[in-house]
Amino acid sequence: MQVAIVGLGNLGTAVGNLIAVNGHQVVGWEYNAAVADEINQQHLNSRYLPGVELHPGLTATTNLADALTVRDIVFIALPSVFIERTLKPVQGSLHAETIVVNLAKGIDGATGLTSFQTVSDLFPLNPIVMLSGPSIANEFARGLPTVVMIAGRDKTDLMRVAQALDNDHFRVRFSDDAVGVELGGVLKNIYAIGLGLFDGQHITSVNFRAVYLTVAMEEITKIGVALGARLETFLYLSGIGDLLATSLSEHSHNRRMGELLAQGLPLAEVERQMGVTPEGFNTLRSMLYIAEKMHVPMPLAKGLWDVIHGRYSAAKFIQLFIRDFVE
Ligand SMILES: NC(=O)c1ccc[n+]([C@@H]2O[C@H](COP(=O)([O-])OP(=O)(O)OC[C@H]3O[C@@H](n4cnc5c(N)ncnc54)[C@H](O)[C@@H]3O)[C@@H](O)[C@H]2O)c1
């Protein structure tokens, strides 16, 4: 199979390496030329996936149009904010039969479109598949067991994608609810910020985490169903599974953002220290707007927003959460 990965960051490198290990030919486009050079010359990506030796079947290029000429599958592994501006100029480069798999989990702050919708609009003639679920790149890149969801309209496309990804430690399961699979991945980032807030205050009791994650799941489900997802999709890997993985992972940018906010740092300083604004932040802003329009209350998400903007402290938020937010 001929496969391309757009973005050899943390996730893109792990997915590209997985597919190369599975015996397929993989070319990755990378924005950063030094990262591409290191992958080609040393089979390492010390910036985005340190400590993992890469399969020589994964090569890198900085020419995006070249990478997109592969016949079989193109995986989009960019943070959502870069998707449109990176792919719009090369929209015409794809073969019509090439399957496009979106791995990004975010909402475009300007358009309100999810990454899957943005990718679908960019490539209206191609089959589009959504991949989401508990898939922390630093873990499955080291062979740790991982199971994710892929969703799309046509089972034949899903079978092709499964053939590229499946092996002894990485498996995919199918869904026909692309909206639900995507929204589970998009929305959980909001609540991972919240768990980081509590961790930063050293509130790590199991009782409390169970309450928080249950209420988060309830809120995800309410807004998700209002946006067209099926309830049962949130009860499986791309819903509750991904919420647990991202909230509890030490590798989550979103959780880290919450931890820094809990230390009382202002938003600008958190962004400076992290060097990147985690997806959950823009998702939170967009979702509160959408929730207002759809008359769906999201008190937990609104509380997080108020803390991030210094309207009250993380400690006050926790007090309010226990007293008022739990219905
Ligand atoms: N890392 C994970 O474990 C993981 C798991 C599941 C989903 N995701 C999702 O995958 C997506 C990518 O996340 P990541 O963790 O791999 O990100 P990352 O920060 O590791 O990678 C960023 C990528 O964006 C590229 N980039 C930087 N500036 C750019 C620009 N101006 N224009 C175009 N490209 C630019 C970088 O070169 C790199 O390839 C996100 O939507 C994330 O939510 C990540």
Active site residues: 188
Of the CA atoms within 13 Å of residue 2, those in its CB half-sphere come to 11
**What is the 3 state secondary structure string of 135-146?**
CCHHHHCCCCCE
Q: Whose CA is nearest to atom 10 of ligand 1?
A: 104
Which residues' Cβ are closer than 6 Å to ligand 1?
7-12, 30-32, 48, 77-80, 82, 86, 103-106, 135-137, 279
pLDDT per residue as tens digits for the range 220-231 = 999 999 999 999
C-alpha to C-alpha distance for 43 and 52, rounded to whole angstroms: 9
Tell me which of 5, 6, 8, 10 to substitute to probe ligand 1's pocket, judged by most ligand atoms within 8 Å of the beta carbon: 10
Q: Are 73 and 3 in contact (CB under 8 A)?
A: yes
pLDDT tens digits, one per residue of 30-42? 999 999 999 999 9
Q: Does residue 85 carry a pLDDT above 50?
A: yes
Question: How many Å lie between the centroid of ligand 1 and the Cα of residue 77?
Answer: 6
- CA of 31 from ligand 1 middle (Å) equals 11
Coil, strand or helix at 262: helix
> What is the mean predicted confidence (pLDDT) over 152-179?
97
Homologous superfamily of 2-176: NAD(P)-binding Rossmann-like Domain (3.40.50.720)
Check residue 230 and give its pLDDT: 97
Q: How far is the CA of 84 from the centre of ligand 1 (A)?
A: 14
Sheet holding 128-132: strands in order across? 58-61, 25-29, 2-6, 73-76, 99-102, 128-132, 146-151, 170-175
**Domain edges within the chain:** 2-176, 179-325
pLDDT per position as a tens digit, 254-299:
999 999 988 888 888 988 998 878 889 989 999 999 999 999 999 9
- Residue of 5, 6, 8, 11 to test ligand 1 pocket, by largest number of atoms within 8 Å of CB: 11
Domain 179-325: top CATH class: mainly alpha
Mean pLDDT (the chain, rounded): 93
Q: Do domains 2-176 and 179-325 have the same CATH topology?
A: no
On the question of pLDDT at 327 being above 50, the answer is no
* Range name among 90-99, 252-261, 288-297, 317-326 with the lowest pLDDT average: 317-326
Does the pLDDT of residue 44 top 70, yes or no? yes
- What's the CA-to-centroid distance between 319 and ligand 1, angstroms? 35
pTM for the model stands at 0.93
